[in-house]
Amino acid sequence: MQRIRLRYTKRGRLRFTSHRDFQRAFERALRRAEVPMAYSAGFTPHPKVSYANAAPTGTGSEAEYLEIALTEARDPDKLRELLDESLPTGLDIVDAVEARTSGLADRLTASVWELRLDGVDPADAERAVEAFKTAETVEVQRKTKNGMRTFDARGAVAGLDARVETHSPQADRPTDQPCAILRLVVRHVTPAVRPDDVLSGLRAVADLAPPVPAAVTRLAQGLFDEETGTVTDPLAPDREAAATAPSMAAATAAAKAPVPEGSA
């Protein structure tokens, strides 16, 4: 069995697709691309697809991850192209590697988010960010299936800064007009702290209330480097391992190649 890890995006209007919507679209793409999927056992077999830390509905993302299991070896790059062609524009497969290491989900310990606040003065955003960062705790509330829950939104935030840009090529909703832009690095903790929770915290500590909903885009997720304060590529260990060992697809092709006459 070969395992392939994929990075995909949610862009434009497709940021409003739920995780279940994406699952259905992706399983259709697997059938269209005729991917030799491995299936689970039991009365209702389903494709072996493992999803990791999906972004909330309504947020864009440049860094969603999943893993699939195949019954036949395939070249990751060719597989990526086939799947990308079989998905609607906006749900794009942008990277693929053969899994050479364990624990992809364990390497997704933090996310980098961009929050575009249309109609917010950048100076007001900077003051709110400073108030948030200097606070020891910032309690916010979120409605859950068990009712309202109060928790600290400050402890999980590893980085937060305000900036001014007229255009960001990675943003989910770019604009030609200046606006307040927040760059947020948040650790994946329990309970999960989402960008909306940080916005609630900014409202609580500095009365920052954007006139329109923020355009939120996840730019990256992976291991958080405490020394540099950056989030590293979670697929890098698989690429490094692939550089020192042949891929399963290459090994399978070599095994099927005919042996020349007269060879030992």
- Per-residue model confidence as pLDDT tens for the chain (264 residues): 899 999 999 999 999 999 999 999 999 999 999 999 999 988 889 999 999 999 999 999 999 999 999 999 999 999 999 999 999 999 999 999 999 998 899 999 999 999 999 999 999 999 999 999 999 999 999 988 888 999 999 999 999 999 876 555 555 555 556 589 999 999 999 889 999 999 999 999 999 999 999 999 999 999 999 999 899 999 999 999 988 876 665 555 555 556 556 554
In whole angstroms, give the CA distance from residue 241 to residue 159.
Answer: 31
CATH architecture of 108-225: 2-Layer Sandwich (3.30)
Output the pLDDT for position 176: 57
User: Is the pTM higher than 0.95?
Assistant: no
- Portions of the chain given CATH number 3.30.70.580: 2-106
Contact criterion met (CB below 8 Å) for 173 and 215: yes
Q: Please report where in the chains the tokens 């310990």 appear, as a residue.
A: 109
Contact criterion met (CB below 8 Å) for 54 and 63: no
In whole angstroms, give the CA distance from residue 214 to residue 203.
Answer: 13
Output the pLDDT for position 143: 85
Class of domain 2-106: alpha beta
- In this structure, what token pair is assigned to residue 33? 């691309």
Contact criterion met (CB below 8 Å) for 164 and 181: yes
